Amino acid sequence: MDINAFSYVVVGSGLLGSVVAERIASQLDSKVLVIEKREHIGGNCYSETDPDTGIEFHRYGTHIFHTSNEKVWNYIHRFTSLNTYRHQVLSSYKNKIYQFPINLETINSFYNMNLRPFEVDEFMSAIRDRTIKEPANFEEQAISLIGKDLYEAFFKYYTIKQWQIDPRKLPAAIFNRLPFRKNYVENYFFDQWQGIPENGYTALFQNLLSNKNIAVLLNTDFFSIRDRLKKDACIIYSGPIDRFFDYKFGKLSWRTLQFEKEILNMEDYQGNAVINYPEQEIPYTRIHEPRHLHPEKNYTKEKTLILREYSLADNGTAPFYPIASRENMEIFQRYREEAARLENVFISGRLGDYKYYDMHQTIERALEIFETGILTQTRLNNGC
Ligand SMILES: Cc1cc2nc3c(=O)[nH]c(=O)nc-3n(C[C@H](O)[C@H](O)[C@H](O)COP(=O)(O)OP(=O)(O)OC[C@H]3O[C@@H](n4cnc5c(N)ncnc54)[C@H](O)[C@@H]3O)c2cc1C
């Protein structure tokens, strides 16, 4: 392949890169080169079939598609249909399973009561810590709203395990974003369109990248072939922003996840796709059982697949979650200013924007980059 012939080069075949490549290929009828350093397309949404059980699973963590954004839905559903899966999370505490986020079932089960919705406020005001008048951090905010027992059971050690940070160092406002329900509603998401791609995420990416104008180069690091690309090619880069600038303002830090796969000789291990393990003594944070993501599939009854999830500090090889500390955000801001000065280069996606995006937000961002960036520049310059 003559990589020097492409006027559009997309770095990364995740959702950001694949959507932008599809738009360029179909709307501008231009050839696009997609460079991917992993051995597969799809970025962190990648799904595969486990050879022993035939169960479809998500290598980098369970992904549930959900959106209420009509534009995003109108775009993406041309490349996939979703199954009927509705996400529900459970939390295991002292060998008992609770609904999570906290709802009336959680409270009644935790306190062995039978409260009704209109009785919850009075009960909560009896258990919350009313001595904390101005909560200064996540822990104080939690205790002032739901009391010490619920906080320690479901939030304290889960947060420590997930982020390796003392919850007293996190802002109080983060706790306010977490849902608390006084009814029995168990849905995790309330979006209009939800589910899992019926044929898996990888099939969705194959469809996005199927345009004849798109060439995909796997197992290739952009930086190892950068010098051989066309000098004035338009670059859409969805890798880590600090790497793009050779870490000149310092390294951004990330959390990563590790998954321990196990096959069990039974039909169903935990009865749900995801269960949280918030206790301090248990080293993993969650167990995933991907067979539950596809209730429509006739999987084997002889075996099931589970994945234990561990949260770790990233050593630079597998960045998953940005850490929005003040220090990181200052470094990121300097890179962003530098990026804004570049011509013919768009840096974005969860690694480029150093921001957690849900999939629908990544698609929205990709469409925006194409429409307001690439398309506009192409019209102005007759080339990116
Ligand atoms: C554990 C986890 C669970 C999630 N669950 C959900 C969920 O349930 N629902 C939801 O809506 N969203 C979920 N998300 C978010 C979702 O994964 C992201 O929105 C999406 O993956 C972002 O796509 P992206 O293209 O920006 O990044 P990525 O998917 O990371 O793609 C970037 C790609 O660039 C490649 N790359 C990087 N550097 C280079 C280089 N130098 N050369 C070549 N290639 C390079 C990488 O290999 C990667 O393939 C989850 C995220 C995580 C981490």
Distance 47 CA to ligand 1 centre (A): 12
Which protein residue's CA is at the shortest distance from atom 6 of ligand 1?
A: 63
Q: Under DSSP, is residue 254 helix (H, G, I), strand (E, B) or coil? A: strand
Helix or strand run (H / E) with residue 145: helix 138-151
Known catalytic residue: 286?
yes
Known catalytic residue: 130?
no
What per-residue confidence (pLDDT) applies to 44? 97
What per-residue confidence (pLDDT) applies to 170? 86
Strand order through the sheet with 32-35? 214-217, 32-35, 8-11, 234-237, 345-347
Q: Is the CB of 42 under 6 A from ligand 1?
A: no
Q: Is the CB of 45 under 6 A from ligand 1?
A: yes
Q: Is the CB of 15 under 6 A from ligand 1?
A: yes
Tens place of pLDDT per residue across the chain (384 aa): 899 999 999 999 999 999 999 999 999 999 999 999 999 999 999 999 999 999 999 999 999 999 999 999 999 999 999 999 999 999 999 999 999 999 999 999 999 999 999 999 999 999 999 899 899 999 999 999 999 999 999 999 999 999 888 999 888 888 887 889 999 999 999 999 999 999 999 999 999 999 999 999 999 999 999 999 999 999 999 999 999 999 999 999 999 999 999 999 999 999 999 999 999 999 999 999 999 999 999 999 999 999 999 999 888 788 999 988 889 999 999 999 999 999 899 999 999 999 999 999 999 999 999 999 898 777 666 556
What per-residue confidence (pLDDT) applies to 177? 79
- C-alpha–C-alpha distance, residues 325 and 304, integer Å: 39
- C-alpha–C-alpha distance, residues 223 and 242, integer Å: 13
Backbone φ and ψ of 211, nearest 5°: -60, 140
What per-residue confidence (pLDDT) applies to 314? 86
* Candidate list 309, 350, 353, 365, residue with the active-site label: 309
> pTM for the full model?
0.95
Known catalytic residue: 128?
no
What per-residue confidence (pLDDT) applies to 57? 98
Domain-wise residue ranges, the chain: 3-85+199-249+323-381, 89-176
What per-residue confidence (pLDDT) applies to 169? 86
**Ligand 1 probe mutation, 44, 72, 247, most atoms within 8 A of CB:** 44
Closest CA to 261 of 288, 236, 233: 288
Closest CA to 63 of 194, 205, 158: 194
Atom of ligand 1 nearest to the CA of 243: 41
What per-residue confidence (pLDDT) applies to 110? 98
Distance 86 CA to ligand 1 centre (A): 22
What per-residue confidence (pLDDT) applies to 382? 58
Distance 20 CA to ligand 1 centre (A): 14
Residue 30's region, left for phi above 0, alpha for psi from -120 to 50, else beta, is beta
- C-alpha–C-alpha distance, residues 125 and 350, integer Å: 40
What per-residue confidence (pLDDT) applies to 171? 85
Known catalytic residue: 255?
yes
What CATH class does 3-85+199-249+323-381 carry? alpha beta
Q: Is the CB of 355 under 6 A from ligand 1?
A: no
